[in-house]
Structure 1
Amino acid sequence: MRVSQLFHYPVKSCRGNKCIEMEIDAFGPKWDRRWMIVDKDGRFITQRQVPKMGQIGVTISSESVSFDYQSEQIELSMVEAQGQKDERLVTVWRDQLIGNRIDHPVNAWLSQKLGREVQLVYMPQETVRQVDLEYAELGDRVGFADGFPFLIISEASVEFLAGKVGYPLDVQRFRPNIVVSGCDAFAEDQWKKIQIGEVIFDLVKPCSRCVIPTIDLESGQKQPEVMQAMLAYRKQGNKVMMGQNALHRGEGMIAIGQEVHILKAV
């Protein structure tokens, strides 16, 4: 089994970026979901409410962050993109956190593209958002992702579902960070601990899926047949599960083509 694709998502619910290699820091994939778009009350906004968010691209360099939508683009310096310390709280699900609000024309640009008033916020290095202690150790942290720093899925799992839907499905619909090839569909359900390069990952919880995987990445339109297929083949209790949430043990680099070693399975 090998790593076939890697992705990081700088802004929660915006388009992801393919990586050849991925730097892993204390938060997880470097720059992954360190930014988030919120409403006027500081509450997070995702593709669940605004499917068009998945069509907004975000490019990160050491010096700047740029957003693009269709043929339009806006850029912030990295200093601007990290905002100013702000004691107002932002909300992700049940978590209330201090996020740096960014004072820049990007807010008006995003508001215009998304058709509602929004604000871009950044999670500073000193913020520690604890992962749910039912699945994690004290000190395990995550950025603005829903709950965990990594999502791992196999190519075969997505191909299985595509076969039931009747057309190809881009793996990015499922917002993975690490995609694995060379295993059977849903083999990842049996993994508890894996190693890629020098980094160990604990697979701690199946990922409960919402409407986001039904959204076509190009058109932004929902395709309900994707959810129907997940309900038919991936329902567990009253939820639909695809992929595995994971925590990393250690920091370093991983890359496409590296072997995936199973250290512990169910």
Structure 2
Amino acid sequence: MPSLTTPLTLSALYIYPIKSAGRVSLNSAQIGPRGLHHDRRWMVVDAAQRPLTQRECPAMRLIEVALNENGLAVTAPRMPPLAVPWQPLGQRTTADMWGQQLGGISVSAEASAWFTAYLSQPCNLIFMPEQEQRWQPEGRPYRSQLGFADGNPFHLVSEVSVADLNLSLGRPVDTHNFRPNLVVSGGSAYQEDYWRLIRIGALTFEVVESCARCSVLNVTAAGTRSAEPLRSMARLRREGQAIIFGQHLVQHAFYSERTGFLRVGDALEVVELGTTRNPVYV
């Protein structure tokens, strides 16, 4: 188990309003029961209403998203700008998210046409309204509501761990490759594998599992597929059948009290450490 060293600080905050599209960098962020506000509340689905992500469509890496007073401003190479409102007024629809049926709202015919043209297949952009409740599976020890995130409301990585990992990778990466919500500076490499309970600013979080990495990590900045860094990480960061890096969090509070703010520069305190790595639920 690594020892604590230099002070830990929240060095960056990100949301990904459209699942598998570009990040939005924030100086501060409001938290609600599903995690950071606006994080993964929109999702692109195919003709069968299944999610489209960088796993299937690496060109999604090149979609950029910005926030404005009216909603999202979406851009991509060789595409006109797309405006996505905060509260779409389209038709009710459903999504088949890996066998789980979820309700949503189609954003607009314009948005569907935009993603269809960019990804060269029939697509629809959908929004998860507030009344739609999606919970973590029953088997998870800390149940939480979710948007369209894969399995947990918060994802954290360490700058120090990324720097150490890069010493052994065939293709160097940065924190952005891991698509975190929270980036932490300071401490020692991989100490986050052993965190059980942490406090960031005024908020406390359960560290519920290590993140099992998928092929999205191999998508390059040019929106193409590569064998790295997962090929190298399979030797370095294997836990059972999973390749792990980063940690998933749930706010340590009753569901009705999961709220608050995080700010870049907040101090991070490790409240409880384990003697073994955090588990992976797959």
| TM interval, short-chain normalised | over 0.9
- State the Cα deviation string for residues 36-83 of structure 1 (Å, max 9, x = none): 00011211110000001111012223322211013631113334xx23
Whole-Å separation in 2 of the counterparts to 1:196 and 1:51: 33
SS of 1:135 mapped into structure 2 = coil
Matching residue of 2:4: none
Whole-Å separation in 2 of the counterparts to 1:18 and 1:45: 23
Whole-Å separation in 2 of the counterparts to 1:162 and 1:235: 16
- State the Cα deviation string for residues 123-166 of structure 1 (Å, max 9, x = none): 0001111112332445x201000011111111112112222125
1:1-266 → structure 2 map (5 Å cutoff)? 1-70=8-77, 72-79=80-87, 82-84=88-90, 86=92, 88-138=93-143, 140-165=144-169, 168-217=172-221, 219-249=222-252, 250-266=258-274
Gaps in structure 1 of 5+ consecutive residues:
none
User: Which letter maps to 1:22?
Assistant: A
The number of equivalent residue pairs is: 261
Whole-Å separation in 2 of the counterparts to 1:232 and 1:136: 29
User: Which letter maps to 1:254?
Assistant: L
Whole-Å separation in 1 of the counterparts to 2:182 and 2:102: 27
Whole-Å separation in 2 of the counterparts to 1:17 and 1:220: 18
Whole-Å separation in 2 of the counterparts to 1:187 and 1:67: 37
**Residues 67, 74 of structure 1: 8 Å contact kept:** yes
Gaps in structure 2 of 5+ consecutive residues:
1-7, 253-257, 275-282
TM-score normalised over the length of structure 2: 0.88
User: Which letter maps to 1:78?
Assistant: W
User: Which letter maps to 2:235?
Assistant: A
Whole-Å separation in 2 of the counterparts to 1:144 and 1:175: 14
Write out the 4+ residue segments of structure 1 that deviate beyond 4 Å after TM superposition: none
**Residues 161, 229 of structure 1: 8 Å contact kept:** no
Q: Do the aligned partners of residues 89 and 106 (structure 1) sit closer, same or farther apart at CA in structure 2, a change above 3 Å counting?
A: closer
Deviates more, 1:54-63 or 1:169-178: 54-63
Whole-Å separation in 2 of the counterparts to 1:137 and 1:211: 26
Whole-Å separation in 2 of the counterparts to 1:7 and 1:257: 14
Whole-Å separation in 1 of the counterparts to 2:142 and 2:13: 25
Whole-Å separation in 1 of the counterparts to 2:152 and 2:138: 11
**Residues 213, 245 of structure 2: 8 Å contact kept:** yes
SS of 2:168 mapped into structure 1 = helix
- Offset of residue 32 of structure 1: 0.2
Q: Do the aligned partners of residues 133 and 192 (structure 1) sit closer, same or farther apart at CA in structure 2, a change above 3 Å counting?
A: farther
Task: Determine what percentage of the aligned residue pairs are the same residue.
Answer: 30
**CA-based RMSD:** 1.6
Whole-Å separation in 1 of the counterparts to 2:138 and 2:185: 30
